[in-house]
Amino acid sequence: MSISPIGWLHTLGSLPAIPLAAYMLAKYGRIAPQTRAGRAYFGFMLLGVLTVYPIAKQPVSAIVATVTLATLLIGYGASALSAGRRLAGYVETVALSLSVFLLMVPTVSETLRRLPAGDPLVKQMTDPLLLGVQGALFLALVVGVPLQLRALYKRNAAAAQSAASTTGSR
């Protein structure tokens, strides 16, 4: 299990994005780009995505990296617009949740296929353990995104109600 220097940069560079994502999901219920953790997440994700290209051994790796880069840029781009546009907040939430999913699927796959060294838990991509974990990640995405969007809708509705009552009391 030898890893090249760029492989180490990729692995160690993208690894901090995982606890940052978990922290923001727990604290804010979503990836929060405007926060310090959100800015760090962007940097680590960008490093991880860009270093996939020189180490990718299969075309699917470059495809996943490109889709991840697109979701990251869309999410953070929408974040810049979200102050004035409600729709941008929804785009941001979906895109950045998808970026977490796209981070976790290869991370879990590579971890299970490499560890423990010499006798990994998973030997093939069709192993039931790997498929089960990937299925659980997909389920978390499918259930989590609508819950995030619902919370965002409620927050927007409460803010609109508050603004209307403030404007109406003048």
What confidence tens digit (pLDDT) does each residue in 6-56 have? 999 999 999 999 999 999 999 999 999 999 999 999 999 999 999 999 999
* Mean pLDDT within 61-81: 93
Q: Any idea of the CA torsion for 56, 62, 66, 68, to the nearest 10 degrees?
A: -60
Contacts 24+ apart (CB under 8 A), 130-139: 133/108, 134/105, 134/108, 134/109, 137/101, 137/104, 137/105, 137/108, 138/101
User: Tokens 């160690």 label which residue?
Assistant: 12
pLDDT value at 163 more than 90 = no
Contact 69, 49 (CB under 8 A): yes
At residue 169, the pLDDT reads 59
DSSP 3: -
Q: Please give the Cα distance from 52 to 7 (Å, whole number).
A: 8
